[in-house]
Structure 1
């Protein structure tokens, strides 16, 4: 929800950082995730591939180091892929409320279900950072604004659907994996936020559970 200062001021993008030759603590896992040769040793090719991944998702420093944040992001992606078309297989989101939007902070996923029937998703989200965590529990959508303006962050929040104080589903243009996270809102890709706008109404249930990695 916060616009990076450099973008807000219209500054030119920084030049790409140079690659590190250091082998990170998650080197082997990161190599496997990226489909690289798995030998646990940093190479120039490894560094460039890791750096490309970091750049795509706003992970800094963008130097190609296989560190904790890079691996945490990849591990979240793996958990999302594993969810497949059965995100509520463990039954943690209620199935006795009819239409409900479920938010799993641990896997950074959301979906809409009607009873036990999946209606949309699951899709990745970007939730509250450490210290501004998205609050868990049973909620309900109480206010919708298709082109909401945040007086707190001074940015547009398209397709906003508020369900807990100032916390809302809304779209952002950045990567869903961009650290450290939102100011508490459930950030979504534009297409997903638009689909939620069309599927949900005031009074619909929202259930948030789990804990975001790194919080």
Structure 2
């Protein structure tokens, strides 16, 4: 289901904005991702399909242009699909610490493993944007607050589990592919954040690695 129409400057909704009929630099890749005829030329139907994808994930302007941000979002989705049920194939998240929550910034994925055994996930996450990047390294959960309220951002952070200063796992209502990213926290869907809450506890390990595209 698509998100509600985005409101642009002047009060115009994205759904009412004119489609950008210019052929974008990632036209072929975007057409292929969306299952459109791959001819590398923008059409009205291409534009509508791209615009629907952009509206669903909060990519602005929602004009149907196959630009770098839209393709970056799709490319991240493809990397997540390729991970399948073996997200730690490269062995970068440690397997010798018992239960650990892994966060791969490059693929914007997280999962929980018990040693080498996958316990939950992988699931898409939304990490820090440029300037408020989610810090890499090996940490431990030290504080949990199921109905946390951020006094910094004046926003609810349900199922918060803090592991690095003010950085926490917590749920959000935004799309996991909504750019540019969070203020540093690892955003999750409500379902996944609740599962993490039930599976993790204070003292459990968290390992963050990689680099988010665009940061």
Tell me which interval the TM-score lies in, with the shorter structure as reference length. over 0.9
**2:144 and 2:78 mapped to 1: Cα distance?**
32
Tell me the equivalent position of 1:191: 191
Tell me the equivalent position of 1:3: none
The Cα offsets for residues 158-188 of structure 1, whole Å up to 9 and x where unpaired, read as 0000000000000000100001000000000
**Which segments of 5 or more consecutive residues in structure 2 lack a partner in the other structure?**
1-5
After TM superposition, where is structure 1 displaced by more than 4 Å over at least 4 residues in a row? none
TM-score (normalizing by structure 1): 0.94
Verify the 8 A CA contact 2:23 2:65 in the aligned structure 1: yes
The Cα offsets for residues 135-178 of structure 1, whole Å up to 9 and x where unpaired, read as 00000000000000000001110000000000000000010000
Secondary structure, counterpart of 1:46 in structure 2: helix
Distance 1:25 1:210, change over 3 A: same
- How far apart are residue 13 of structure 1 and its match? 7.9
The answer to whether the aligner puts 1:28 opposite 2:6 as a matched pair is no
- How far apart are residue 131 of structure 1 and its match? 0.6
**Which segments of 5 or more consecutive residues in structure 1 lack a partner in the other structure?**
1-5
The Cα offsets for residues 32-86 of structure 1, whole Å up to 9 and x where unpaired, read as 0000000000000000000000000000111000000000000000000000000
Distance 1:63 1:13, change over 3 A: closer
Q: How many residues align?
A: 206
Tell me the equivalent position of 2:3: none
- How far apart are residue 15 of structure 1 and its match? 4.5
Secondary structure, counterpart of 1:76 in structure 2: helix
**1:161 and 1:14 mapped to 2: Cα distance?**
36
Alignment of structure 1 residues 204-215 onto 2, 5 Å: 204-215=204-215
Distance 1:49 1:108, change over 3 A: same
The answer to whether the aligner puts 1:18 opposite 2:34 as a matched pair is no
- How far apart are residue 14 of structure 1 and its match? 2.7
- How far apart are residue 18 of structure 1 and its match? 1.4
Tell me the equivalent position of 2:149: 149
Tell me the equivalent position of 1:177: 177
RMSD over aligned CA atoms reads: 1.3
TM-score (normalizing by structure 2): 0.94
